Amino acid sequence: MSQPAALTDPLGSVPKYDFSNVPVQAFDAVRMKLAQLTHSLSKIRDDLSKADLPQWYSLQSQLTVTLTQLSSLNSTLQHFEELLDSTVPYPLPHFPTTAHEGLLTTLMRKKQIPEVEAWIKDAIDHSGIDINNENQEDLEKFIQKDKAITNWALDFINHEHSNYSFQGLYTAEDLSNGAGDSKIPLYRSTTFKTKNVSPFSIDSVLKYIYQGSTNESSSVSE
C-alpha cells in the first residue's frame, strides 16, 4: 500500500495520506449519476406511498426517467470498468470502526443482495445452459451462436418495423401507394377556417339565420 509512514504522531491531527490513487474523475461521474438516480427513485417511492396515486402517465414518465438514469449509470460504470475494477478501497485509521462497524461493512459490501443473487440465478436457469457440466469450448460456441441469432433477430425486427407505419391514419401500404400524405391531417378542424377569415358580413349571416333561404333574396349568397 502506498500509505506514507506518517504514524509518528498517531494521536495528533489526521496524518497526510496519499489520495492520488482515488479515481476522482470516474467517481465524480458516477456520483452525479447516482445522485440523479437516488433522487428519482425516492421521488417514485414518495409518489407510490401516497394514498392517492398520481396519474399513471406521470408515474410512467417518472419511471422512464429513472430507467434512463439507470442505464446511463450503467454505461458510466462500464466506461470506467477497468479503472474501478483495479481500485481497492479501504478505511483509514480514523474511521470510527468500532462505533460504526456495521456502517463500514455495509458501505464496503461487494456481495449482491439476495434479490439480485436470486435474479442472477434465475437468469442462469433461463439461459438453458448448464454451466457446470458443459465444457468451455461448447459454451463459447453456444454463446457465439446465440449472438448470431440475436443479430439476425434484430435485423429481422428492424426490417419488420420499417414495414409498418406507426403514426397517422394510413397504413404503410397506403403510404407507399400514395394514398395519403401522412403529414396532412385527414380531418381538418372546422374552427380553423372560421377564426381567420370571415367571408360573410355579420348582417347577412344573421339575416340568413333568421329568414332561411328565400327565392327572392339573392343577397345572402354573396
Partner 1 sequence: MADNIYSNNFSSSPTHSDGIPIVLDPNLINLTLPTSSTAASVPATVPTNGPESATEPQPDSAGANSLKQQRTLVNNPYETFGQMPLQQLIPLILQMRGNAKFSDLSEEALVQEIEMEEKGVTVQTEDMDGEIDMGTLEEDQALKPQEITDDGSESRPRTGTENIMSQEQFNQLKRDVLEHINLALNESSLSLEFIVLLLSSVRASVGVNSMSPFLKRSVPPASMNADKIPLQQKSKRDILLTAVINKGWKLRALEEARSLLKDNYLKLEKSLEIEQAHWAIISQHISNSDVIFKMRDRNMGKRSLAIKYGYEDSGSLYKQDRGVAILRHNTEQNKLELVPVSNSKEQVHITKNSVERFMRVHVYTKIEEDDDYILSGESSIDDQSLTQCNLDDIGRQIARLKFFIFERELMYQLKKESAQLISYGVNLENENKIVFESPGEKIEIEMVLLDDNALLSTQDAPRKDDKRANLILILLRMLLVVMHKKQLRYELKPTLTKQKPRGYDKDLILLRPIVGKIRHQNYLKLIEKVVTETVLNKIPNSTINFIPTAEEKDTHTYKELYAAELDKQIALFDKMLTIPKTEMKINLLKKGTINLILKSINYCNAVIQVKYTNFSGEVIFDARFTEYKELEEFLNFIVSEYVT
Residues 69-88 contacting partner 1, CB under 8 A: 82, 85-88
CB 142 within 8 A of CB 129: yes
Interaction of residue 65 with partner 1, rule CB under 8 A: no
Q: What is the amino acid identity at position 211?
A: Q
What character string, x for contact with partner 1 (CB under 8 A) and - otherwise, covers 18-57? xx-xxxx--xx-xx--xx-xx--xx-xx--xx-x-x--x-
Query: Within 115-174, which residues bind partner 1 (CB under 8 A)?
Result: 115, 118-120, 122-129, 131, 136, 139-140, 143, 146, 150
In the complex with partner 1, the residue whose CB is nearer, 92 or 172, is: 92
Least Å distance, CB 114 to partner 1, is: 5
Least distance between partner 1 and beta carbon 167 (Å): 16
d(CA 54, CA 60): 10
Scan residues 166-205 and list those touching partner 1 (CB under 8 A): none
Cβ-based neighbours of 103, under 8 Å, separated by 6 or more? none
- Give me the helix-helix angle, 56-79 and 24-49, nearest 10°: 160
Place of cell 399513471: 56
Q: Which of 58, 68, 103, 154 binds partner 1 (CB under 8 A)?
A: 103
91 contacts partner 1 (rule: CB under 8 A)? yes
The sign one gets for the Cα dihedral 25, 27, 30, 32 is negative
122 φ, ψ (degrees, to nearest 5): -60, -40
Q: Are 35 and 76 in contact (CB under 8 A)?
A: no
Nearest approach in angstroms of CB 197 to partner 1 is 27
User: Considering CB under 8 A, how many residues would be counted as binding partner 1?
Assistant: 82
> Which of 203, 186, 4, 185 is closest to 92 using CA atoms?
4
Q: Which is nearer to partner 1, 119 or 176 (CB)?
A: 119
Cβ atoms 4, 17 nearer than 8 A? yes
Pick 48 or 179: Cβ nearer partner 1: 48
Q: Quick one: which segment of 58-66, 171-179, 180-188, 195-203 binds partner 1 (CB under 8 A)?
A: 58-66
